[in-house]
C-alpha cells in the first residue's frame, strides 16, 4: 500500500471516528435528560434584557404598534410546551381533547361488549384498554380534588351558575350549556394567566364546537400564557389594567398593557363578529400600541424585572378572601393573618412546581399529575412526616429519607397531647386549624375568583354569588371531615325527561329583559318587592323563554328549589327533578387562613366539640340565593351523616368526664390509704 493511500485511509478513519463522536454526544446528552433550552442553574435570577417579538415573530421597536407576544418572546428560551400543562393553564382545557377522550371511552365500552360476546374475558380487556388509556391521558386534563368553580354571575337575572371544564360534581360544563370558550375567556380572563383554549384557539376546532358560527377569536386575538403575571417583581405588573383590556376584548394586547410597556388605544368590543380583517378601514380601527421609548435600551432590548419564585401579591390577585358578617364586610384589622405568613413563609414554599408548572395543592392524599412525591407538602406530611412514603421510594438515599421526615421548613412537630388517635382518622388538619372560626351559623364569604376582589369598587358583601362557610363536610377525596365553602346554584333552565339543565345566561338575559324589567339588580328590583312580585315577574320570564327559545318547560332554580309556571297566570309552583345534584349545595374544601394552635378547635378541651352545642356539629347553614324564600337550616352533623341521638349519647360520656376523673383520683387515694392502713399493724408488730 502506497504512502498516499495510507494517508487517505487514515483521514477517512479519522473522519468516521470524529463523526461518530459528534453523533454519540447528543445521544448521551439526551439520555442524561438534557434539553435544547439553556439553564443558569443558579439561585440568582437571570437578568432579563431581551428583545420583544410580536405574534408574527417580528422584532418590536419603540416605533412598533403591534402588541408583544409572550409565546414568541419568552418561548425563545423557555419550554412553553411543557409549561402549558400546568394546573393554572388548563382550567380552560381544550374541549376537543376532552371530547376525544370521551369518544375513546365510548369505543372502549363497545370493545368490551364485543369481547364479551366473543367469549373473551371482558375484565382483562378493560384492564388492558385502561392501561393504554392511562398512558395516553394528557396530564393537562388532570382534574384532581374539586376546587372553586367559575361562577357565572349576572345580577340582572339573579344568576349564580357554577361552571367548570373539569369533571367535578355540581359543576356544569360550559360547552354543554352553549357558553363558548370566547365568552368564558371574556368573563373570567382577568382571573387566569392565559393558556388552554384561551391561547390555543384554531378555526377548525372552533367550527366543530360552535357549529361553524362566526367567532370573535380572529379579531380579539388569543389570551396567551402571561409569564409575568406570576413572575414579575411586586409592583411591576398592573393586574387592573389587564382586566380593563380584557373587558374591552383586546385579548392579544393584555400582556403589553399589564407591563405598562406602552399605551393601548382602541377596543375590539366595538367591532362586529365576522368583521373582515383584510379591510383597511377595519385594520385602522383595531387597537394600537404606542410604546414607551424609555423602556427600550440602546441595543433595542427591554428589561424584564422578574423573580423566579412568584411573590405573594401575584397569588393574592386570584386567591384572596374576605368574611362577611351581619354588619357587612369584616375589616382586615379584625383578623390575624395566616399563621404561616406571619412566620415569614411564602405561598410557593408549600405550593411548589417544576418546569411543568403542575402546582402542588397540598391536600391530604394528593396524587400529583406528574407523579412527583408531594406527601410532605401537605399539613400532616410537613409537620408529622411520612415514613411510609420514604419506604415506598426505597430509602437508599439520605436526601430521600430526610425529605420525608417531619419538620420541613422548620415546622414544629404537633404533640397533640391527650388527643386520641381516632381524630386523625376522622378529621383533616384543616378541620381544626383553618378557615373562619365557626359560629352558630356559617358566615358569608367573598373570594377573588367570584367577587373580583382587587378591583376598586363599593361592595356591601351582599353581592352575588352567595358563598358561605365554614361547612364541615366529608371531603370527597379522602372522607375526612374538612371545612368547605358552599353555595347553591341559581339559574334559568329547562326540564327535559325530568332532568333540569341550565340555558345560556346571555341568551336568557336577552329573552327575559322585557318580562323581568330589571335595570341592575334582580334581588333589589324583584325579590325585595315580595313573593307576589317575584312570582309574577318570574312566571312572565319563564313564559317568554318557552315561547322564544322553543323550550317545553322552562324553570328558575334558586335556594335549592326548582320553580315552574303555575296553572294560573302570574303564579309559580315548585317541581322536583330527577337530578337533584343540579339544584343542591355545591361545595369545595377550604384550607386558608391557617389559625395558630391556640385558636384551633378543641384547644380549650374536649367539650368544645363534644358537647350538645359543639359547633363543629351544631353550626348550621341554609340555602341562600336570589329567590325570596326561607329554607330550613341544616346542621353540620346532618351534612356529615351523623345520627343526632347517637351524637348526644356520646356527648354524655364527655359531660361527666371531669367528675369521672375526680372520682377516679379520689378512689385511688382512698384505696392507697386503705392499703397503707392495712399494712401498718404488721409493720408495727415487726418493729416490736
pLDDT beyond 50 at 478: yes
Stretch among 217-221, 384-388, 446-450 having the lowest mean pLDDT: 384-388
Per-residue pLDDT, 117:
57
At 133, is the pLDDT very low, low, confident or very high (cuts 50, 70, 90)?
A: very low
pLDDT beyond 50 at 65: yes
- What is the enclosing helix (H) or strand (E) of 169? none
3 state DSSP class of 582: helix
pLDDT beyond 60 at 397: no
Stretch among 81-85, 397-401, 510-514, 658-662 having the lowest mean pLDDT: 397-401
Which residues have CB under 8 Å from 180's CB, separation 6+?
Answer: 174, 209, 210, 215
- What is the enclosing helix (H) or strand (E) of 361? none
Alpha carbon distance 8, 87 (integer Å): 59
Alpha carbon distance 303, 51 (integer Å): 9
Residues 307-316 as b or e (16 or more Cβ within 10 Å = b): eeebbeebbe
pLDDT beyond 90 at 483: yes
Asked if residues 265 and 288 have their Cβ atoms less than 8 Å apart, the reply is yes
Per-residue pLDDT, 476:
86
Q: Which three cell numbers stand for residue 452?
A: 373580583
> The cell 386558608 sits on which residue?
592
What is 84-137 written as a DSSP string?
Answer: TTSGGG-TT--HHHHHHHHHHHHHHHHHHHHHHHTTS-HHHHHHHHHHHHHHHS
At 661, is the pLDDT very low, low, confident or very high (cuts 50, 70, 90)?
A: low
Per-residue pLDDT, 19:
43
Please state the φ and ψ torsions of residue 492, each to the nearest 5 degrees: -95, 130
pTM for the complete prediction? 0.84
Stretch among 1-15, 208-222, 450-464, 491-505 having the lowest mean pLDDT: 1-15
Dihedral sign computed on CA atoms, order 131, 133, 135, 138 = negative
Mean pLDDT for all residues in the chain: 84
Stretch among 514-528, 592-606, 609-623, 642-656 having the lowest mean pLDDT: 642-656
Asked if residues 617 and 636 have their Cβ atoms less than 8 Å apart, the reply is yes
In terms of phi and psi (left: phi > 0; alpha: psi -120 to 50; beta: otherwise), the region of 437 is beta
pLDDT beyond 80 at 512: yes
Amino acid at each position: 500500500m502506497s504512502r498516499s493511500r495510507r494517508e487517505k485511509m487514515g483521514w477517512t478513519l479519522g473522519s468516521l471516528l470524529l463523526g461518530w463522536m459528534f453523533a454519540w454526544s447528543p445521544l448521551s446528552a439526551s439520555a442524561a435528560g438534557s434539553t435544547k433550552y439553556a439553564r443558569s442553574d443558579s439561585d440568582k435570577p437571570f437578568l432579563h434584557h431581551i428583545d420583544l417579538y410580536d405574534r408574527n415573530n417580528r422584532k418590536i421597536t419603540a416605533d412598533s404598534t403591534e402588541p408583544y407576544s409572550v409565546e414568541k418572546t419568552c418561548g425563545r428560551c423557555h419550554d412553553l410546551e411543557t409549561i402549558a400543562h400546568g394546573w393554572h393553564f388548563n382550567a380552560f382545557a381544550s374541549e376537543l381533547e376532552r371530547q376525544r377522550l370521551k369518544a375513546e371511552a365510548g369505543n372502549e365500552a363497545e370493545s368490551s361488549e364485543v369481547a364479551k360476546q366473543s367469549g373473551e374475558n371482558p375484565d382483562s380487556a378493560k384492564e388492558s384498554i385502561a392501561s393504554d388509556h392511562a398512558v395516553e391521558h394528557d396530564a393537562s386534563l388532570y382534574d384532581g380534588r374539586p376546587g372553586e368553580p367559575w361562577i357565572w354571575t349576572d345580577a340582572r337575572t339573579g344568576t349564580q351558575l357554577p361552571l367548570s371544564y373539569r369533571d367535578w360534581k355540581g359543576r356544569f360544563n360550559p360547552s354543554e350549556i352553549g357558553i363558548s370558550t370566547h365568552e368564558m375567556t371574556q368573563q373570567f380572563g382577568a382571573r387566569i394567566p392565559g393558556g388552554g383554549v384561551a391561547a390555543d384557539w384554531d378555526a377548525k376546532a372552533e367550527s366543530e364546537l360552535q357549529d361553524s358560527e362566526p367567532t370573535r377569536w380572529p379579531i380579539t386575538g388569543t389570551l396567551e400564557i402571561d409569564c409575568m403575571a406570576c413572575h414579575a417583581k411586586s409592583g411591576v405588573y398592573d393586574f387592573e389594567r389587564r382586566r380593563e383590556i380584557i373587558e374591552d376584548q383586546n385579548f392579544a394586547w393584555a400582556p403589553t398593557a399589564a407591563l405598562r410597556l406602552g399605551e393601548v388605544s382602541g377596543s375590539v368590543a366595538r367591532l362586529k363578529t365576522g368583521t373582515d380583517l383584510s379591510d383597511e378601514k377595519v385594520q385602522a380601527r383595531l387597537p394600537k400600541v404606542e410604546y414607551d421609548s424609555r423602556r427600550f435600551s440602546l441595543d433595542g432590548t427591554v428589561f424584564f424585572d422578574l423573580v423566579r419564585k412568584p411573590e405573594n401579591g401575584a397569588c393574592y390577585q386570584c386567591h384572596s378572601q374576605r368574611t362577611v358578617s351581619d354588619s357587612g364586610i369584616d375589616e382586615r384589622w379584625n383578623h390575624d393573618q395566616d399563621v404561616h405568613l406571619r412566620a415569614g413563609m411564602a405561598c410557593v414554599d408549600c405550593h411548589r412546581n417544576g418546569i411543568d408548572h403542575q402546582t402542588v395543592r397540598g391536600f391530604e392524599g394528593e396524587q400529583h399529575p406528574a407523579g412527583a412525591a408531594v406527601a410532605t407538602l401537605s399539613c400532616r406530611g410537613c409537620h408529622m412526616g411520612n415514613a411510609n412514603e420514604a419506604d415506598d421510594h426505597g430509602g437508599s438515599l439520605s436526601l430521600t429519607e430526610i425529605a420525608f421526615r417531619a419538620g420541613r421548613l422548620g415546622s414544629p412537630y404537633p404533640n397533640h397531647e391527650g388527643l386520641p388517635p381516632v381524630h386523625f382518622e376522622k378529621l383533616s388538619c384543616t378541620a381544626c386549624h383553618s378557615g373562619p372560626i365557626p359560629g352558630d351559623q356559617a358566615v358569608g364569604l367573598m373570594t377573588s375568583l367570584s367577587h373580583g376582589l382587587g378591583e376598586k369598587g363599593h361592595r356591601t358583601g351582599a353581592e352575588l354569588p352567595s358563598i358561605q362557610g365554614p361547612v364541615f363536610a366529608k371531603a370527597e377525596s379522602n372522607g375526612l371531615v374538612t371545612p368547605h365553602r358552599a353555595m347553591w346554584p341559581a339559574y334559568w333552565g329547562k326540564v327535559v325527561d325530568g332532568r333540569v339543565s341550565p340555558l345560556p345566561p346571555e341568551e336568557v338575559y336577552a329573552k327575559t329583559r322585557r318580562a323581568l324589567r330589571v335595570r341592575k339588580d334582580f334581588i333589589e328590583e324583584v325579590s325585595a318587592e315580595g313573593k307576589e312580585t317575584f312570582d309574577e315577574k318570574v312566571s312572565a320570564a319563564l313564559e317568554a323563554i318557552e315561547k322564544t327559545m322553543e323550550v317545553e318547560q322552562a324553570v328558575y332554580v334558586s335556594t335549592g328549589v326548582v320553580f315552574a309556571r303555575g296553572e294560573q297566570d302570574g303564579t309559580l309552583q315548585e317541581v322536583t327533578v330527577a337530578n337533584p345534584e343540579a339544584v343542591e349545595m355545591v361545595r369545595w374544601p377550604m384550607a386558608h387562613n391557617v389559625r395558630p394552635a391556640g385558636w384551633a378547635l378543641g384547644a380549650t378541651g374536649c367539650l368544645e366539640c363534644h358537647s350538645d352545642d359543639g359547633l363543629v356539629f351544631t353550626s348550621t347553614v341554609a340555602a341562600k340565593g336570589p329567590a325570596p324564600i326561607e329554607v330550613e337550616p341544616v346542621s353540620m352533623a346532618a351534612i356529615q351523616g351523623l345520627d343526632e341521638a347517637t351524637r348526644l349519647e356520646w356527648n354524655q360520656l364527655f359531660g361527666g368526664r371531669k367528675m369521672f376523673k375526680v372520682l377516679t383520683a379520689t378512689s385511688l387515694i382512698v384505696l392507697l390509704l386503705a392499703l397503707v392502713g392495712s399494712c401498718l399493724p404488721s409493720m408495727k408488730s415487726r418493729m416490736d
